[in-house]
Structures are given as structure tokens and as C-alpha cells.
Structure 1
Amino acid sequence: MNRVRWAALGLIAALLLVAGMLAGHAPVTAQSATPTPVAEEEADAAEIVATDAVTATVAHAVTDTVTSAYVSLDLAAGFPLDPFLVSVNGGGSVDASQFGEGCTGFVNDAPTVSLNWEGETDFVEAFFYSASDPVMVVQTPAGDYLCSDDANEMLLDPVIEMAQPANGRYNIWVGSYTPEQLIPGLLVLTTRSEINLGTFDLASLVQRAPIPEDVLEPEEVAPRRAEITAGRAGAASMAEAEAVLANEDIIDGVKRNVTAAGTVPAFELPADDTFCAGFIGEEPDFSFDLEAEGDRLRVYFEAQADSTLVVQLPDGTYLCNDDAVTGDNLNPLVEIPAPAGGRYNVFVGRVQQDEPVTGELFVVESSTQMPADLDPSTDQE
């Protein structure tokens, strides 16, 4: 029996050799049951690659199973808006302890913010700036959960630092200790070591002169804003406010001397799709009635200090301007294409409330005429 078995095995080997030669391949040689060192290294490398691929696939699947976040961000290393601020509401009804040991409070099903990160950096720090006692949970691209309650005994806001963050999606939940509690605040993302929860000063990010409290009081602002109407313009004390301008007057150009000394914040005006800056008077500085429709109208103001313009059209809408050329010319310009006939009310505003601004107001039919240049550096001297 043994001879027959070995003969059969020899016949099979011969057939395999012939089949390999006919197929144009080298003959298959027998392999040792004990792997060589080279074979072991190749097998280990293949196993590592396979393990990494499986891990990456699992991590991607883990983060992708999370419900879409309320806010999604794409940031890369070196992003210019650092720190990056997101205004959000924290809180929810899902017990955060399910994410792991040290996770407390309650969060929403969906992440508050999803951060898609790309690039290399030493760290990305996330903290929540609020007036309450929130909690925070971060899910890394690998599916791990990082949790924070208080930065320390004095700072009740949470902070989480992700050292050498991997590329991928970071899901961030901002929560509260009480279920369904609403905690408004700012989620801050930064890679700068000098920016941290203990030193963060929101007021230092945007520096501007404070607006006097008497201007901001609702009982002060509302009546003044109500008085800025087309009907009020008819009672303007200036004689030129009763001017009736014919087309030939506009072509030749109209010039008036105006001093801006108002205290009504122009940004309170109901202007659509535009921001009105500066402080204007309760009454127009100049009003005129246009007899007929024109091709184009320009209203501008020339002074030696930063000023603004507000023009109320016959239909009651407002056009506003701060700088004729942003960053180059601080004198304001309002352009009115195809102006309709009717009453136009012009308000000249000042940016700083400590001093009035005196200059020349121009009304002209032109598509090219510009106010004299007022360089920003000149105004600051």
C-alpha cells in the first residue's frame, strides 16, 4: 500500500509540473512547513498593514454612525481664525456616562459640533466659555471618548486638549448637569498656547470704543428712531431742507455745509441688507424733493474726520455707507441707481461721539464722481 501511495503522489506531482510548464509559469516548488526569517518578516508586515486597514475602517465606521452634528467645521493646521469661536447651546437628555468613566452630565443625541481636522500640529484645545457649569465630550476619529467637567476648582467650564491630533472627524458634545437644561456659550477651538480658558478674554478679540449707556437705553433709542421718518423731515429746521431740485440742479451738483453732531445710533434703523454705521441726528441734515426720475444719483460727504451717510428714499427705505473705498477712503458715498421722484432725506453721521464732524455734502448726477480721499492713517493722526 505504501508503494502505491507514493507512486500516486509522484504521478500527481509530475502532472502539476507539466501543467505549470504548459501554462508558461515556473514550476511550483515545495515550501518548508517552517517559515524562513524573511517569510516571517513579510508575514508580520502584511499582518500590520491588514490590522491598520481594519482599524481605520472600524474607526471611520464608528464616527460615521453618529448622528449629524448641528454645526460642522473644516479646519486645517495653521487656520487663520485662531481662536475659532462657535456660538452654541449646550445641554440635552442623553446620559453622558454611557461614553465612559469620568463622563458626566447630559448631552444631545447629535453632536453639538463636528470638527473635520487635517494637518499636523502639537495640539488642538477645545473649551466652552459660559456663565454656567457645562460638561463636554469629544469623540476622536479612532472612536475613543474624552470627557471634561471642570478645568479646575475655580473654573467650572470644561476643557479638552487633543495632543498631536490625527486627521479625521472629532464629534464634540456640550452638555449640562441637569437634563434638558439650556446652556448658551462659546465653543473655542485653538492651537495657540497663550489662549486658554483661564486667560481667555472675549473683549480683547474685538476692541472698540464703548457706546454711552444713555444711547443704548431702549427708552432713549426707540423714540428717537421713531422720529426719523419722512414726515419728520418736513419739519427740518434748515432752510435748505425744503429744497426742490430739478434735473438741471442735480447735473450741476448741489453742495451744502453740514456739521454732524448726532447721538442716535444709525445701526438701529430698519435698513434691509445693509449695515448703517455712526451716530446721526434726529432730523435730516439735508432734504430735497426730486422733480422727476433720473439716471443715477450720488450723495457723498467730504470732511477731515471719519463720517457716515444715511439716505432715506421716497419709499421709506434706507441706503447707508461708511467708506467710499473700504480701507482707502473714509469719506462716505451713497449711490442711487435710477432714482425715483420724491423726497430724499440725508443724514450725516459721525463715528466718534466726542467731537462733531464738519464738511461738505454733495448731491450730483454722476456714475463716476467720488469724494476727496480721506486716508485712514490721516484720520488717526
Structure 2
Amino acid sequence: MKNNLLSYVAAKDKKYPFTAPTWIYISIIALFFTSSAAAQSVMDRSLIDRISMAVVQIHTPDGTGSGSLVEGSNLIYTNRHVVEGFYEFEIYGITDPTRPVEPLFVAELLGFSEEYDFAVLRITGDMNGNPVINPHQYIANYSDSGLTPALQKSGLRTIPGRGDQVAIFGYPGIGDNELVFTTGIVSSVMYDTFTESRIPVWYRTNAEMAPGNSGGVATDMNGNIIGIPTYVRSENRTGGRLGSLLSMHVVSEIVDGNLLTNRWENRSSDAIASNSPAPDSDQLDFSVDPAYGSASLAAGFTPDPHRVSVVSGGAVDASYLSSGCVGYAAEGPDYSLQWSGSSSMLRFFFVAENDGDDTSLIINRPDGSWTCNDDAESGSLDPMVTVDSPQEGRYDVWIGSYSEGEYIDGVLHISERDVTPAGQEESDSGSAAALDYSQDPMYGTVALSAGFTPDPNERDMTSGGSVDVSAESLGTGCTGYASSAPDLRLRWSGDTDDLRIFFEPNQPGNDTVLIINTPGGGWVCNDDANSDTLSPMVNLRGYSDGQYDIWIGSYTSGEYISGKLTITELNRVPE
């Protein structure tokens, strides 16, 4: 899901007219109780429970965000970047404060602002296709608590100022689909002229916000609406963070003035161009989800090195961090490592697919400090960072391109061993020229016998390596690229009518290969289990007791694909 987006461009002439209804929103957790009627510093628990039933989670084909039900209508207000590019959505919410989030409605795009990060959806029915006239009453009808969604409407004459308390409600990605409530203060107010009136446009707050909060609601402690949580800006040297709330004054002007476009293809080229990079994407932001995933590794991990395919490059000039940081990287991390245990060294390096491609490495450590490298050693354009006695915690990793506008394919390596980009390149180009069952398997050995339990035996593994299996001339189906050492060794005993081994990538569409050396020294391989899948499977029916060495190959060179290896006597096939 795209986050931290904001556009300042001229609105299109094509607008979508409708009248502005009253707002209604949610929260779920209260930390304090009411102190006085004149200066409410906490929120009443019963009010929180009622508000908590009016914020929704918006599901799109590429992620989730937050939104708010509008009282007296079947509309939802949210950020434009939450729904950008799509027209139909599933809406999740809670029907009771004690229940988890659940699917409630389907909705369609009604309109969006080109100038500001704001959009409106319209609920078209429930999940069974039944029409929904009053979403608030619909939720109340399913509530065991007897509560009805409610939120007090703040008069637009009320303008929060610095130091006023603010509460944020939404579904951040770190919350496991839970509605999360955080508090802070209004840190500053940015005014601008809008339709010939000077009004507050943005409220800045120190209240915690995270990806997924976008499109939710910000209120004062009385439950009056202040604005829509839209993006977060981070100051990486100090770790400071400020969230930005699109003010309700702007929302009211957009809706009352019919300043909405209702087709994405009608957007002006200026508006589209202004989305990349966003105004706050001039710095690296570790709060954004990593583009190529994450891993949890502990000291002594295998296989070592841990490898993942990554493409370098982006719009952020990393030189703002320090004199040693160069290159252009994406706003969010490329990869994130959660590290645990004690080790003398942890090494990160990137090997570009093509010689002569120049990349850089930028790492944010658990203590918030930054470490960068351009070239690992003389004669190499591949970067490397070595962390001595690595601290436990999260390491966020960016791969930069030295030149702006370049996007370079390659492989990120993480290791506790004294390996270097140059050494890995040599391995890739020749030293690991054959499959070698005399080596220790990277994922260990498993001993199983006929009728084993539990069945299936499953383990997480990663495919790929530098050996061109097709060059080995091992037989039918033996293709792809695998490591020199086996991935797994199976010691098998007993007779079985149906022993199956298959591999399923975590991401559908990734193409992998199984290569197995049997006790008799022969080879059995498979690329695709059947015509409906790219996952490989080998049936070892009729083979003898003994040692089976197993490799998981990637069909394409340079790919390292995470997935699950399954060994079973059951009638199962890859999904």
C-alpha cells in the first residue's frame, strides 16, 4: 500500500457534485478518564466504544488503509493514496468493541481531489450483495453491546492550536488488523489560502502514526473531528517524527465546492507526475514496509549467506545522511532484518548482476545510527557493510544506485562469515561449477521412515544458487540454478507406496525446480508438478532405502525464492 503521498496541483475541471454530510468516526482504547467539562483531557470510555464502531479498514487489491463512515449517509472519507487506481473495495470494521475486525460492506469510488490527498467512497451493499441504506444502523444491529456508532461533530469555527491534545484512530499495518488508538498534541498548524479564504490546511502532531493509519481520523479529547491522518515525516539523524493531518476545513471546502474527479484516467498529467516522489519522500523512511520483504535471523543461522534478489535505486538522494552516504534509493527500505543472538560479525553486501553497475548500501541500525558504503574494496563497485558485535534488533537496508534514474538487478547477501562481493562473484562464475553431494547440506539432515509422523514433514527454505543445473546433463527436467551444496539431506528407511517431495514458493508465480540425487547415484528432477503450477514435485515410489540429497533450484539465474519444502506419504500436491 502506498503511504506518505501528497499532491499540490491544480484541480481538473471535471468535478463530481454532491452535498457534504456530517462526519462520524472511531477510536478503540482510552487511557484516561474525564477531568473537567471545560478542558477535556481524556475521553470517556463509553464514547470511545461508540466511536470505535465507525472507523473502517479499506481493502484494495494491493493493500489496506483506514477510512471513516459519514453520519447520515452511506459514504466513507479516506485519503486518495489509500484507494488510488481502483474503483471497488471491501470494507472491514468492528460491530462490537470486543470483536475482531470482520468484512462488512462493499464500496465503490465516488470521487477524489487532485489537489489534496482526499477521496470519497460509497457503500453499495453488504458482503452478500444486499443494499445498505444506513451503515451505522447496520453495524448497531449486529452489536451485542447495544451501541450505535457515534462521533460528535466539531464546528469548523473551532481550530486546534499548538499544545492541544489530539487522538489518532486507524488500522496501522503493525497492528495485525486491530483498530489502534494513539494520542499526542498538535505541534503546529499550517495555514494557506483556499478558495479565497485563509484556513488551516495541515495540523502537525507528535501522535504516533504508521502505514495503514492513512485515511483514518484525528479528534480532540471530546471526540470532535480535527482531520484525516495522511502522512508521516521522519528526521533520520535524530529519529524525530511528525504526522500530518489534512484538516476538516479543507475537506469541507472540497466537498461543498464539488471539487472532485471521479475517474483515475481523467487525472491531469501534472497531478500524476506530482505523486512521485511525494513532498515528504526526500528522506529515507524506515516506517514504510520493506519492498522485498524481511527476515528474522539468529546467530549461527543457515544457510549462510542469506540471499534475496533486490533491485537498487529510487528517488531519494542518500547524501543528506553523511559524507559517506551516496546514491539514490527508494523512500522505504528494500529489506528488513530482525537480528538476535551474539556474533562477532554481521556482514551485508550487494552483488550487481552485471559487471560495471555501481551501487551503494545504506543501513539503519537498531540504535538509529546510519552506516553506508559505496565500494567494498579497490576494483569493486559492489558495496559492503560489516557490523562488529552486532546489536540485537532491526536493521533496515536500502540498496542505492550511484547514478540517479538507474535501477540495477542484483542479490543482497547477509552473512556471519568472512565473505566478500568479489568472492561471491568468483563463486557465481566458476568455483561452484557442479552439484556436490559430498558437501554438508545447508538446511541440515532429516531421518524419516515409512509411516512417519507427523506427516507432512515441512520446512522453510530458499531456492537458487550459481550452478547451472542444465549444464550438468543430469537428465529430463534437470534445469535451473542451484547451490553447489545440497539444500537438504533425507535419510530414508522402509517401504512406501507413495513418497512425495515438493516445493511451494511463498509468492505464486515464482518458478522453481527440484533436483534429487538418489541412493543409487542417479538423478531425479522436476520443473512443474503439473500444467497448472510452476511448483515442482518428485514421487519416489519404488526407490530404495538410503540417502537422498535434495536441491531446490530457481528456474531463472540470480533469483532466490523463499518457500516451503514438503515431504509426505499423503496424497498431496503443490497448490
Relative to the length of structure 2, the TM-score reads 0.30
Relative to the length of structure 1, the TM-score reads 0.43
* Greater helix share, structure number: 1
Q: Rg bigger for which structure?
A: 1
* Greater strand share, structure number: 2
Tell which has more relative contact order, 1 or 2 (C-alpha 8 A, sep 6+): 1
